[in-house]
Amino acid sequence: MVKIADLLANGPTFSFEFFPPKTDAAQLTLLDTIAELEPLHPSFVSVTYGAGGSTRERTRDLVTWVHRDTSITPMAHLTCIGHTKPEIDEIITTYLANGIDNILALGGDPSTDTDQARPTDFVYAMDLVEHLRAKASLSIGVAAHPEMHPRSPDRNSDRKYLARKLRIADFAITQFFFEVDHYVQLVEELADIGVYTPIIPGIMPVTNKSQVQRMSQLSGAAFPQWLADRLADVDDPDEVQRIGIDTATELCAQLLEVGAPGLHFYTLNRSMATRQIYDNLGLANA
C-alpha cells in the first residue's frame, strides 16, 4: 500500500473521512458515497474509531474493504483509551496482514457503554505513537487542534505537546475550523519551536446549522459570528448547504494559497458537499 507520508512528499493530498455505519441502511448510504467520491481519485480516505474501541471490528472491516475492493488508499483511525498493548499489537498485526500500514493515532474517549472502565496501557496519544513507531514500519498521523485541544490548560502547553507528537509522527490532520488564520497561526507557532511536519487542514462544510454548531462546541472550534449571522435567518436546508459550500470553498482556496499540504474533508458519510467543493476548486479534473 502507498504510505501517506510518501504521498505528502510528492505534493498536496486531498482526502476524505468516513465513519463506520451502524445499520444496513447507513451501510448502503456509505457505499454509495464512496462510489460517488472514488472518481475524484482521492489521495486517501480515513475511517474513524469509536470511543473505547466500540467500532473496532466495523472500522477494521471498512478499512479492509476499501483496500481490497476500491482503488483508494485507506487509513485506519486507532485510539489508545481502553486498550492494552497486546490488544493494540493484535489490531496492528491484522492490519499489516491485510496490507494496511497507514494509521491515525489518537487518544480517544472512554466508551459510554458498560465497558468504559476497560484497562488501558496508554494515557495519551503520544504513548500510542511511540508504541506504534517501535512496533512496525507504519505511516503514522496524529490529530492537531488549531484553536487548542479543548482539554489543554493553555496554548503554550498545547503546542509543546503537539510538537512532541509531530517529532515522531509523519503528519497531522487538524480538527475542523472556519477561518484560515487559525491554521496559519498553528503552523507558525510550531515552526517557532522547530517543527515542520506536514499538517493537513480538516474541512467541515456546513450542511446542517445545529449539527455543526454542536460539533464545534465539542471539539473546541469556534463557530465565527460572521458565519452565524449569515446563517441566522436561513431556514431553507438547500440555502444552508449553498452557504456552507461557498464558505468552505473560500477557506480551501485560502489554505492552498498559504501552502497547506492538502485538504481533508469530513464528509459525515455524504458526498454532495465535497464533490461540489472539488468542482468549485477545479480539482475534479486535476
Q: Where are the domains of the chain?
A: 4-281
Give the pLDDT of residue 114.
Answer: 47
> What is the arithmetic mean of pLDDT over 186-193?
97
pLDDT in tens, 87-143: 999 999 999 999 999 999 999 876 655 445 677 889 899 999 999 999 999 999 999
pLDDT(263) > 80? yes
pLDDT(245) > 50? yes
Q: Quote the CA–CA distance of 273 and 23 in Å, as a whole number.
A: 23
Residue 143: phi, psi to the nearest 5?
Answer: -95, 150
SS3 content of the chain, % helix, strand, coil (to 5): 50, 15, 35
Average pLDDT taken over every residue of the chain: 91
Q: Identify whether the C-beta of residue 166 lies closer than 8 Å to the C-beta of residue 31.
A: no
Active site residue 57: no
Give the pLDDT of residue 132.
Answer: 96
Q: What angle do CA 277, 279, 285 make, to 5 degrees?
A: 135
pLDDT in tens, 192-241: 999 999 999 999 999 888 888 788 877 778 889 999 899 988 989 999 99
Establish how many alpha carbons lie within 13 A of residue 64's alpha carbon, considering only the half-sphere containing its beta carbon.
13
Give the pLDDT of residue 63.
Answer: 94
CATH class of 4-281: alpha beta
Angle between helices 237-257 and 272-281 (to 10 degrees): 40
Of 17, 147, 179, 189, catalytic? 17
More confident residue, 242 or 53: 242
pLDDT(36) > 60? yes
